[in-house]
Structure 1
Amino acid sequence: MKREVQGVLLILVGGAIARIVISGAYINYVKPSMKPYLYVSAAILLALGVLALYDAVRAPRTNVARVGAGAGHDHDDGHGHGSMGVAWLLLLPVAAVFLVAPGPLGAYTATREASSVSQPKAGELMPPLPPGDPVPVPLDSYATRAVWDDGRTLEGRTVELIGFVAPSPEGDGWQLTRLALACCAADTVPVKVQPVGDVPDLPANTWVAVTGRYQPGGGTQSATAVPWVEVDRIVPIQPPAEPYL
């Protein structure tokens, strides 16, 4: 690959990374804690790209003397052009980021995987919920309390849960869902809670705040259980700034 092409590709990829970090779109793909590393990666790629272009511009053009020297060798020798084509294909994902940056994963991903409820460490006790009526509870915390602690810390409390609408795998109704990730969007797992009671039909990927109370059901002591919440109120909301847990 020519040094000029290397430089251009490095600058474009570095610029794409810098763009999604500055715009905040990076949280659609990685955890917020990765932001400093993305800045460093973008800076390194941009610096390498500039150095590659500088090196290509100042390098002596020794190949000029070869033009016409090889009589009978005017035709393509079949080397190099294939790799150049592959190199330019690397621009496709970069163009996608600049033109149409993909949004966060949602219902399509969630409906294709079973719920994943984190199990507390052996002997770890669930702390009581903080004051509040309703008290905001992260969806994964609610699921863990309901599944692994039999809802003891949820009983008698009104909670507010935030998530998006994902169609039920059984095809009847929907489940309140969030996607949790360890590092990047490639390793996301869904956490699901089943609203019960007066539940309206809502389009997939609608973000909602569900106010309600713990209702036994959906299974316990299983990482794939889908606990229930008895609905008092469901209000559509704007997507949160950080879509993943």
Structure 2
Amino acid sequence: MTRRTQGLVLAFLGALLTRLSLTGEYERFVTTWMRWPLLVTGIGLVVLALPAALGVGGENGDHSDHGDHAHPGEEDDHGHRAPRSAWLLLLPGLVAFVVSPPALGAYLAERRASDAPPPAPTTVFAALPDDVTSDLALEEFLWRAQTDEGATLAGRDVRLTGFVSTDPDGNWYVTRLVIACCAADARPVRVRVGEADAPPRNTWVAVTGTWEKGTGTTRTSAAVLDAGEVTPIDPPEQVYE
């Protein structure tokens, strides 16, 4: 791999990061706050790579360092060569361009289902209104169930949004994955759905119903939503919570 091809590889990787950050596809891999760092990094890589990729500042100016025995092209053939394994840097980019891996879903959630959700924060939750349907994040629903024996949920209509996952007992759940930094640290947050037939796994749904009293009051027990309506929906732009 010559100096010029090294520049081309670096420019390709920079262009890939720039594309992922501008199109929003980066959200399949990392959390939303990383958009600007990725964009700045991508542009920086392209700027650094352009001189080498375009052959600007060629090797002729460097030959004086090698004395009178330097030969044209020698620096290009030896001094600026990288190991052939450097070509492997192209593989992640080609995968992202050609395959476009989907966001994580039911497969991961079902295998990490034993992970206990974080404890409820010390925040005092206000009671939900009893005359409207409240849209809640799954974590908030679980936290409310753990706080004051679920007093703020009792008798209230709520709407939860997520994808469908299952367990070996035949139960199904409305599920989201929560990430702190990137997809590698994803953990599932899920609420069991009762009184409704299960849609296909990985289907995104909006489930409207009421909390089943007494469920999910501890971190190790499953919270249950008695469903009144299950509506398939398109995946949201931001699939992770």
TM-score range with shorter-chain normalisation? 0.7 to 0.9
Q: Distance in 2 between matches of 1:52 and 1:99?
A: 26
Cα distance change, pair 88–129 in 1 and its aligned pair in 2 (3 A) = same
CA contact (8 A) 1:210 1:233 kept: yes
1:129 and 2:125 aligned: no
Once structures 1 and 2 are overlaid, which stretch shifts more, 102-111 or 224-233? Answer: 224-233
Look up the equivalent residue of 1:108 and give its one-letter code. Y
Partner of 2:222: 226
- Consecutive unaligned residues of structure 2, counting only runs of 5 or more, are 64-69, 75-79
Partner of 1:44: 44
Partner of 2:179: 181
Look up the equivalent residue of 1:3 and give its one-letter code. R
Partner of 1:147: 146
Q: TM-score, normalised by structure 1?
A: 0.84
Count of aligned residue pairs for this structure pair: 229
Partner of 1:172: 170
Partner of 1:239: 235
Partner of 2:117: 117
1:205 and 2:202 aligned: yes
CA contact (8 A) 1:106 1:205 kept: yes
How far off is 1:151 after superposition? 1.2
CA contact (8 A) 1:4 1:56 kept: no
How far off is 1:117 after superposition? 2.2
1:23 and 2:23 aligned: yes
Partner of 2:106: 107
Q: Distance in 1 between matches of 2:46 and 2:146?
A: 48
How far off is 1:132 after superposition? 5.7
Say which SS state the counterpart of residue 92 (structure 2) adopts: helix
- Consecutive unaligned residues of structure 1, counting only runs of 5 or more, are 67-79
How far off is 1:150 after superposition? 2.1
Residue by residue, what CA displacement relative to the aligned partner does 1:172-214 show, whole Å, maximum 9, x if unpaired? 13211000111111111100100112x2132110000100001
Say which SS state the counterpart of residue 149 (structure 2) adopts: coil
How far off is 1:99 after superposition? 1.1
Task: Write out aligned runs for 1:69-88 (5 A).
Answer: 84-88=83-87
Say which SS state the counterpart of residue 243 (structure 1) adopts: coil
Q: TM-score, normalised by structure 2?
A: 0.85
Aligned pair partner of 2:188 in 190, 207, 219: 190
How far off is 1:219 after superposition? 4.1
